[in-house]
Copies of this chain bind each other. A is one copy, B any other.
Amino acid sequence: MTKNHPYLDEKVMTIKIVTEMTGLSERQVRYYEERELIFPKRNSSGTRMYSFSDIERLMDIAEKIEDGVRTRELRKDLF
């Protein structure tokens, strides 16, 4: 799954475009970060910046959550 993709990991999107692309709410996106499931960067002003990888990961997370999986469990799977 590790594609050799130049722009995939560049953190260039603000949360708004992320919610539009994933269909999730800002609240959900920030919460998944709080649960350490995604790791956006912060620009000089503190605004969260996301990559296309983050978008993909968010959609994956959302699907799992819908299936009843808890964030704690998803966090574990990172290791």
Contact = CB atoms under 8 A, between A and B. Distances in A.
Interface stretch (A5-13, A23-31, A57-65, A70-78): A5-13
A16 B52 CA distance: 18
Contacts of A10: 52
Interface of A: 5-8, 10, 12-14, 16-17, 20-21, 43, 49, 52
15 contacts: A5-B6, A5-B7, A7-B7, A7-B52, A10-B52, A12-B12, A12-B13, A12-B17, A12-B21, A13-B13, A14-B14, A16-B43, A17-B43, A17-B49, A20-B43
A6 B13 CA distance: 16
Residue of A7, A16, A52 with most chain B CB atoms under a 10 A cut-off = A7
